[in-house]
Amino acid sequence: NIPSLFCSGSRSSKTFKPKKNIPEGSHQYELLKHAEATLGSGNLRMAVMLPDGEDLNEWVAVNTVDFFNQINMLYGTITDFCTEESCPVMSAGPKYEYHWADGTNIKKPIKCSAPKYIDYLMTWVQDQLDDETLFPSKIGVPFPKNFMSVAKTILKRLFRVYAHIYHQHFDPVIQLQEEAHLNTSFKHFIFFVQEFNLIDRRELAPLQELIEKLTSKDR
């Protein structure tokens, strides 16, 4: 089903963000390979732990890029089902609705459709990841003092895309046989943010039951 990621069709092709690549041969690339190898062992709790001697900022940076790519791909498979008509507001079930603001271009939160919100969100994340002063890819370039707070905002917002997919588009996920992929990706994400306390518990409320179900087997 990958080709659908690249068809813009009548939809804004901006929704399909290019994959953010970590340069080969860099230390971050080695960290990504380490993360993938540990993930392969199937123990997600172990996979998210900071490897010995590594810098926490760098570990969070590499994983944030990876989650952005994963969510981008997962959302890309269901964009045909997430339209202005089907999702006129960005929600995660009847109790949670999100309004968009990025603090610079859009200061006052605006109500918009889910595809528009996710487009704003992914474009904003991409801009953060591409900013070398925030996410330095070169060895020896220090992370800024505000890095962790930026990373927390990125992860908090990426969570909303998972929440929207689970609440509004789970049927197509099952039809496309993406359920296991989505669950594994989300479980990895949750273990990661729990390990380093990166998302406020209140923000996770829309998927609290699912989080308990997915994580209870791995206590």
CB 125 within 8 A of CB 102: no
Helix axes 147-168, 114-130, angle to 10 degrees: 150
Residue 82 marked ligand-binding: yes
d(CA 85, CA 153): 28
Of the candidates 182, 218, 213, 205, the one whose C-alpha atom is nearest the C-alpha of residue 49 is 218
Cα dihedral across residues 138, 142, 145, 147: positive or negative:
positive
Q: Judge whether 87 is annotated as a binding position.
A: yes
Which residues, 6+ apart, have CB-to-CB distance to 116 below 8 Å? 84, 90, 100
State yes or no: 27 annotated in a binding site: no
Distance CA 202, CA 92 (A): 14
Binding-site members are 82, 87, 164, 169
Binding-site members for Zn(2+) are 82, 87, 164, 169
